[in-house]
Chains A and B, each alone.
Chain A
Amino acid sequence: MSATMDKSAGGFRAWLNKRLPVDQFMADQLTGYYAPKNFNVWYFFGSLALLVFVMQIVTGIFITMHFKPGEATAFNSVEYLRREVPYGWLLQYMHAVGASFFFIVVYLHMARAFLYGSYKGPRELLWVFGMLIYLALMAEAFMGYVLPYGNMSYWGAQVIINLFGTIPGIGPDLVEWIRGDYGIGDATLTRFFSLHVIALPFILALLILLHLVALRQVGSNNPDGIEIKENPGADGHPKDGIPFHPYYTLKDIVGVGLFLTFFAIVVFFIPTFGGLFMEAPNFEPANPSSTPEHIAPVWYFTPYYAILRAVPDQKLGALLMALSVAVFLFMPWIDRAKNKSVRYRGITSKILLGVFFVTFLMLMWLGLKPADGIYVLLARIFTVLYFGFFIALFFVSKWDGNGPVPDRVTYNAH
């Protein structure tokens, strides 16, 4: 009896594999994919970003069943979801808090690349795909923020969409084209809804796929920035590599557990996170005749917003803001060091990177503050430091990062 069952199970697997390369795919992607064994805590955030993406899609599908895009309906339908749909509050808070956590893990993921030079060759394209994901994510988050049509949604959209008006020549027409009307209204909401739930998630999924395919091609970098493929063992696998499954699948699950714990604490106890994740004025419906006290975007956009406001000329400010995001795309070519990891670079590079991290956080904080007095001065200083970093790195990396590196990665067995 059992023998026949085993046979039929094996038979099905063989039947399936003949038609669909299931086993082959698992071997290529998981058990046969060798990753460096010295990943540290910074290496959790890639898999976590994927987790948040899936979570946003799933909660988003259910929210879409209840959300009604439109000037008269959007705000009410979100309140209805939070109050009257069973567990609607859970969906809505997971989705809104999820947006902030998405950026937290993405920023940490990017910081990792800065620390260990993960954007450098042969991973330039991997990095570029990552940056395109980041850009698409910013668009996705912005439109998602407008959809509930609270007062900050309205005024935030007003500020951001008007930025496109600073583009010479086509600006004013472009703004009208984006809004679909002479002001932000029904037409804006319905198109943002379409882009938020169909176009951008689709683009994001495609870019994430490309990011992962490129990663499998070049292999992961590691905290030492050494190419483990250059040091293969007798079996052909890298000496410092271990199969992704079971080692990193199990390790990533620990990261998932920790992440979800933090996430649950916020969702269940402090979903608005003191006005950082959901701003207080957004609990009032959009009102074109009542401007909130300070208009500030959500925290993940504020570094760039601080740069925009630091410049007295609006056109120049918008240009610098665009540049401050676009400059990331060129990291593989700005950083000219031979060694990837900051571990094997000089003290100048280490300080430079530290100053950049502080600068980014300071700009983030300044973007949340009103643009007056000392804050404007600070924003100007840190804007100069922000761009100064990329210029300095271009020159410093030429000489400060070419020392000797070990052959094998640093790993202490537990």
Chain B
Amino acid sequence: MPTKFAIVLGAFALLSGAGAASANEGGHAGWQRPADNEISNLPSLQRGARNFMSYCSGCHSLKYVRYSRVAEDLKISDSLRDTYLVKPGDKFSDYIKASMPANDATEWFGKPPPDLSLVARSRGSDWVFNFLTTFYADPNSRQTGVNNLQLPGTAMPHVLASVQGVKNAVWKAEEHKGEDGKATVVPAFEKFEPGVVGSLTDEQYDEFARDIVNFLQYASDPTQVERQGMGIWVVLFLLMFTGIAYMLKKEYWKDVR
């Protein structure tokens, strides 16, 4: 019995590994970094909410998230909530809408900025972090003057330029063998160089972006911290239950010869 149990456990572990591996797929480019945000870090979440409201919510909505829920989950007091979180004209029980009318947005950017309630789930936290940290000056981009490594050709201007500054990208020539065997030279990203300087250092900006990512991960699944806290007790109870059930079974099965 113990060996078979070990096999079952092993198979489960293997499957979990497969699940995690398939989640991490999609070829990591060298410049991509993990977000390394901590969902249980309350101050980070609070800063993230502040940053989001200051820099993102003008254009992006969180249409499934209410101000009141954010305040409650992030332990923001009612007075701070009403002063800093809730937009003028909104009630604290409202969903977080973008300030900019969608029609104007479509006219200005070609498409309305997406709702970000679920972006950390559909794209992943690392994706959002790399999107926020890889804007660079690109003279070929006529609308915004910038481009992005994570989402090339993005319609979004570098909203955080005042904070991060604007980087210049350095490219190197890289040979790629095509399917016909012919080598073609394509530009490959090498590194960023400081361009226009922003108000934060690189390390400070990473923290700034990480807080936003953390907040968006919270917003994509607001119950996750509560869920994991509860899960520990549920699993402990079930282990105890299984132990007692096993002893009872053993006692009865003594008679079976």
Contact = CB atoms under 8 A, between A and B. Distances in A.
A207 B159 CA distance: 59
Interface in A271-322: 272-277, 280-281, 283-284, 293
B245 A253 contact: yes
Contacts of A254: 242, 245-246, 249
A276 B65 CA distance: 26
Given A79-B117, A257-B245, A280 B223 contact: no
Interface string B216-234: 0000111100011011101
A270 B16 contact: yes
A89 B8 CA distance: 28
Interface in A62-76: 76
Contact of B22 (A262, A269, A276): A276
B249 A273 contact: no
User: Interface residues of A: mostly helix, strand, loop or mixed?
Assistant: helix
Given A40-B4, A250-B248, A268 B227 contact: yes
Contacts of A261: 235, 238-239, 242
Interface string A382-414: 000000000000000000000000000001011
A284 B121 CA distance: 9
Given A82-B221, A268-B227, A276-B23, 13 more contacts: A37-B256, A83-B69, A90-B227, A247-B252, A256-B245, A257-B239, A258-B5, A258-B242, A268-B230, A268-B235, A269-B227, A272-B121, A274-B20
Contacts of B8: 41, 258
Interface in B1-22: 1, 4-5, 8, 12, 16, 18-22
A90 B221 CA distance: 12
A236 interface: no
B250 interface: yes
B22 A275 contact: yes
B238 A257 contact: yes
Given A276-B18, A276-B22, A283-B122, A260 B238 contact: yes
Contacts of A293: 26
B21 A274 contact: yes
Nearest to B219: A83
Interface of B: 1, 4-5, 8, 12, 16, 18-24, 26, 64-65, 69, 117-118, 121-124, 220-223, 227-228, 230-232, 234-235, 238-239, 241-242, 245-246, 248-250, 252-254, 256-257
A261 B231 CA distance: 10
A103 to B, nearest CB: 12
B253 A268 contact: no
Contacts of B16: 270, 273-274
Contacts of A80: 64
B165 to A, nearest CB: 32
A414 B21 CA distance: 40
Given A79-B117, A251-B253, A253-B249, A273 B242 contact: no
A284 B122 contact: yes
Nearest to B240: A257
A262 B231 CA distance: 11
Contact of B118 (A40, A246, A251, A284): A284
B234 A274 contact: no
A254 B21 CA distance: 31
Contact of A267 (B26, B221, B231, B253): B231
Contacts of A273: 16, 19
Contacts of B250: 414
A413 B254 CA distance: 8
A275 B26 CA distance: 13
Contact of B23 (A257, A275, A281): A275
Nearest to B237: A264
B173 to A, nearest CB: 26
Contacts of A251: 249, 253
Of B19, B117, B221, most A-chain CB atoms within 10 Å: B19
A5 interface: no
Contacts of A272: 121
Contacts of B248: 250, 253
A257 B220 contact: no
B231 to A, nearest CB: 3
A287 to B, nearest CB: 11
A382 B123 CA distance: 32
B74 to A, nearest CB: 15
Nearest to B23: A274
The 8 closest A-B pairs by CB, nearest first: A268-B231, A257-B242, A274-B19, A274-B23, A283-B122, A283-B121, A261-B238, A250-B249
A238 to B, nearest CB: 13
Contacts of B22: 274-276, 368
Instruction: Determine which residue in B117, B238, B239, B256 has the highest number of CB atoms from chain A within 10 A of its CB, and name it.
Output: B238
Contacts of A365: 18
B256 A413 contact: yes
A242 interface: yes
26 contacts: A37-B256, A41-B4, A76-B64, A79-B64, A80-B64, A83-B64, A90-B227, A250-B248, A253-B249, A257-B241, A257-B245, A258-B5, A264-B235, A265-B231, A267-B231, A268-B232, A268-B235, A270-B16, A270-B19, A274-B16, A274-B18, A274-B20, A274-B22, A280-B121, A283-B121, A368-B22
